[in-house]
Amino acid sequence: MWNNKILLALALCFLACCTSRQPVTHYVEIKQMQFVPAILEVAQGDSVIWTNKDIVEHNVVNESKPGWESKSLKMGEMYALKIEGKDIDYLCTLHPVMKGRIVISQNK
Amino acid sequence: MKHLNKICIALFALLFASTSQMVYAQSAPSFNDAEIASIAVTANDIDIKYGELALTKTKNKEITNFAKTMINDHKAVIQQAVDLVTKLKVTPQDNALSKQLNADAETTRKMLSSKKGAAFNKAYIDNEVAYHEAVIGAVKDVLIPQSQNAELKALLEAVLPALETHLEHAKMVQKNIGG
C-alpha cells in the first residue's frame, strides 16, 4: 500500500517536471535602425534582452501607459525585461518610426 | 562620357540642393577618401547646427525631440568618422562640394533664423526632409560607390539606415504639424 503511494507521488513529480516549463531568455538586436526580430513570441515569465548594435542611441519604450521604458542605450548596451501580462507594442521614442511587438503565446 | 558628366552634374545639383538655392555646376564629381570623409563630416555637422538653431527657436515638442535626435545621432556619426580617419591616418580634405555645402547651409540658417513660431517649425522640418533626401541620394549614389577604403565604405553603409529613418521621422513630424 505504502509502495503504491510512493510510486504515485513519484509519478506525479515526474509529470510535473515534464510539463512545467523553465523561463527562457529571448534576444532582440537593435541594428540598422530596426528591432530584430520586430515581432517576438514569448511565454509568460520569459525574459527579453535588447542589445543596441547601432552607432546611434536607442531606447525601448512600452507604448501602453503606464508602461516601462529603458534608458537611452549606447552601442553595446542592453536592456532586460521579464515579460508578464499581455502583448506589448513598443517603440524607440528617439526614432518613433522604429516599432516592435512582443506576443504572449500560450503554446510556448 | 559627356552625357555621363551631365548626369553627374545634374545629380549633384539635385542631391545637394538643400532647399532651392544651390546650383552645383562643376565638372563631374570625383572624390578621394579624404574628400569623402570631409563631405561626410560637413553634412553631419550642418544638420547638428540646424538642430541647435531649432532648439533656440521652437517650443513645439515634436520639433524639439526631432532636433535633439538629429544632434545626438549626427554627433555619434561624426565621432565614428573621426575615429576612423584617425585610425587610417587620413586628414579630411576640404573640397568644392564641402565648401558649397557649408555656403548653402549658411544661407539656409539665415532663412530659418528670420522665421518664428509655426513658420519656423514648418521651414525647419521642410528643410530636414529635403536635406535628408539629398544626403541619402549622395551617400547612396556617389559617396559609397566612390569610397576606396573598405572601412570608410562600411561606415557610410552603416549610416544609411539612420539617414533613412531620420527622413521617415521628419516626414512624420511634417505631417503631424500640418506641413
A1 part of contact set with chain B, CB < 8 Å: no
What integer pLDDT is reported at residue B65 of this predicted model?
Answer: 98
B32 part of contact set with chain A, CB < 8 Å: no
Give how far B72 is from chain A: nearest CA, Å: 8
What value of ipTM does the predicted structure carry?
A: 0.81
**Subunit contact B65:A93, Cβ cutoff 8 A:** yes
**Subunit contact A33:B73, Cβ cutoff 8 A:** no
What's the helix, strand, coil split of chain B in %, to 5? 80, 0, 20
A55 part of contact set with chain B, CB < 8 Å: yes
The Cβ of residue B96 has, within 10 Å, a number of other Cβ atoms equal to: 13
Read off the DSSP letter of residue B159. H
Give how far A13 is from chain B: nearest CA, Å: 52
Q: How far apart are CA A87 and CA A82, in angstroms?
A: 13
The pLDDT of residue B70 is above 80: yes
**Subunit contact A55:B169, Cβ cutoff 8 A:** no
Window 67-106 of B: residues touching A by CB (8 A cutoff) are: 69, 72-73, 76-77, 80
**What is the pLDDT of chain A when averaged over all its residues?**
88
**What is the pLDDT of chain B when averaged over all its residues?**
87
What integer pLDDT is reported at residue B11 of this predicted model?
Answer: 42
Provide mean pLDDT across the span B96-104.
95
List, in order, residues 6 or more apart from B76 with CB less than 8 Å away: A55, A56, A57
List, in order, residues 6 or more apart from A33 with CB less than 8 Å away: A54, A56, A95, A98, B161, B162, B164, B165
Cell digits of residue A89: 507594442
The pLDDT of residue B12 is above 60: no
**Subunit contact B164:A33, Cβ cutoff 8 A:** yes
- Which backbone phi and psi does B124 adopt, to 5 degrees? -65, -50
The pLDDT of residue A15 is above 80: no
Q: How far apart are CA B24 and CA B9, in angstroms?
A: 7
Provide mean pLDDT across the span B21-48.
81
Provide mean pLDDT across the span A33-49.
97
CB A34 within 8 A of CB A91: no
How many CB pairs lie under 8 A apart between chains A and B?
37
- Could you tell me the sign of the dihedral formed by the alpha carbons of A67, A70, A71, A72, in that order? negative
Mutation for A interface: B48, B62, B65, B73, most A CBs within 10 A: B73
Model confidence at B18, pLDDT cuts 50, 70, 90, reads very low
- Bridge partners (DSSP) of residue A102 are A40, A88
Which of A52-61, B28-37, B59-68, B119-128 is predicted with the least confidence, judged by mean pLDDT? B28-37
| Higher-scoring residue by pLDDT: A85, B163 | B163
What's the helix, strand, coil split of chain A in %, to 5? 15, 35, 45
**In whole angstroms, how large is the CA radius of gyration of chain A?**
19
What is the layout of strands, in order, in the sheet containing A25-31?
A34-36, A25-31, A47-52, A78-82
Residue of B45, B24, B47, B10 whose CA lies nearest to B130: B47
The pLDDT of residue B7 is above 90: no
**Subunit contact A97:B77, Cβ cutoff 8 A:** no
Contacts of A30 in chain B (CB under 8 A): none
Provide mean pLDDT across the span B47-71.
98
Q: How far apart are CA A103 and CA A83, in angstroms?
A: 10
Model confidence at A64, pLDDT cuts 50, 70, 90, reads confident
Locus of grid cell 586628414: B91
Give A67-107 pLDDT, tens digit per residue: 899 999 999 999 999 999 899 999 999 999 999 999 999 77
Provide mean pLDDT across the span B113-136.
97
List, in order, residues 6 or more apart from B133 with CB less than 8 Å away: B167
